[in-house]
Each structure stands twice: as C-alpha cells, then as structure tokens.
Amino acid sequence: MEARPITDIIANEESTFTTAKINQKEHIASIIYTSGTTGKPKGAMLTHRNLLHNVNSILQSIDLQDNDIFFTVLPMFHSFGSTVGMNTPIAGGATIIAVPRFMPKETVKIIYATQATIFMGVPSMYTIFANIPDNRKRDLSSLRICFSGGATLPVEVMKRFVAKYNVPICEGDGPTECSPVTSISPIYGKRKPGSIGKVIPNVQMKIVDQDGNEMPVGEIVVRGGNVLNHFLKNGIVLATWVMLMMKIFSILSIGKKI
C-alpha cells in the first residue's frame, strides 16, 4: 500500500465519505498489551464503549475547565497516556501539549511557556521534580492539578513536591483491563496520601476474600462498563471468563479500607 500525505488526501479526495457503522459495545477500539495481573503479556481488547465509559467517568471526577491545557509526556500506547492524556482532553474539548519524551529541564520550560494546567506523570517524574534544588526550580504555578499513576507514589515524594511547587497531586489507580482508571483522589476536599482515592462514577469496587465476601482487607474487584470483554488469543480459566461476562474484574491487588 502506497503512503500518501494527509494534505494530498484532503486536497484530492471526495468531500463526502461513508461513515463506518460502529457497535460501541462489541467492536474493538484498541488492543493494549499488559502483564500487570499475570506476569505474562496479554492483549486487553477494549471496545469503544469501554473507553467512552471510562472517559465519561474521568470527566465527572476531574472538573475539567474550559481553559485547561493537558501536558502529555506519557506514551500514548500505554493505557494511562492514551485514556487520560489523549481521549479525556479530546472528549472534554481541552488543549493537549504532547511531547515525545520526558526530559526534566525541557518539560518544566514547556509547562511554563504553554501555561499548562494539568500534568500527568509516574512517580519517578515527581521524584525528579521534588529533588530539584530550590535555587534551580522552575515556575509551575500555571498547573492547577497533577495526576500520578502507573505505580505507588511515595508519600514523602508527594509531600516534598507539594511543598516545593504548591500544586496538589491526585493519585489514581486501575489496570489496563479496566480502560484503565478505576479510582482517583478527589480534586477538591480531603485527600489521603498513599491511597488510591475514591472509586470513579459508574464503577463499583469491593474488597473481598477468596470466597467473594466483602472484607475490610482483601482483594480489590471492580465492575463497570469500563471492564474489558476478553483478551486476544489468550486462554483464561473458567472463573475469569465468568467474571468478565459479569463485567467484574479482579485487579489482583490487596486493598484496605481507610
């Protein structure tokens, strides 16, 4: 197949085209490989409905503003970068500033130059920012909120970052199989450092024992329209298949109610 510049296609093709018929519930929008729950990579097949459901829940949780500018440095082939850094701002009509890789000095310069309002990162990025000496730190006052995901953010790192830049960090959690967000720390009000926050709208979450009984400490399970239908070419045990048919997914993490 011959590659053609998009400008050539726009200039020479017909102005009308046939829109593909999409079954949001059944048609696959993306296949993202993950090994988070088993250690063996498997393709999480996420439908249009899965992704739209997750984006809608996120938008209800983060209070998107008309002038918000998302600074996106996370890879968009990863579920965090794809859903939170791309799909969410597009759905909410926000601006996206996308950079190809994380370089601390360049990142803070671009945040200041573009007056970005929302930053998404993983704990290692916040650690770097927190360790910048006070006499070399940059102005990040345009940011109104930061989001952290992908791994546990050390409480000490969060405290030092917030003290240095006066910008709150909201922690989020969720596996790729859940599109991926299942919980976010509240934007306003009390936040509990070291926790995964509150379950997002239209998603149910429980902490259960091995028999499925709700417990104060145990395995985290979630249910909602964001939960994948199945994995690509991957045999799964009957119990997992039954849970997916019920739109229930075990994150395989131990949780504690606080």
DSSP letters spanning 191-243:
--TTS--EEPTTEEEEEE-TTS-B-SEEEEEEEETTS-SEEET----HHHHHH
CATH superfamily, with its number, for domain 27-203? ANL, N-terminal domain (3.40.50.12780)
Mean pLDDT by 10 residues, the chain (258 residues): 69 73 89 78 90 97 95 94 96 95 94 97 97 89 96 96 96 93 94 93 90 87 88 58 54 66
Give the start-to-end residue ranges of the domains of the chain. 27-203
Task: Evaluate the CA torsion angle 243, 248, 252, 257 in order and state its sign.
Answer: negative
pLDDT of the residue at 248: 62
Report the length, in residues, of the chain: 258
Q: What is the pLDDT of residue 2?
A: 63
Please name the amino acid found at residue 221: V
Q: Give the model's pLDDT for residue 42.
A: 85
Cβ within 8 Å of residue 232, ≥6 positions away? 31, 42, 43, 44, 45
Count of beta carbons in the 10 Å neighbourhood of residue 66:
7
Predicted model pTM:
0.86
Distance CA 132, CA 32 (A): 34
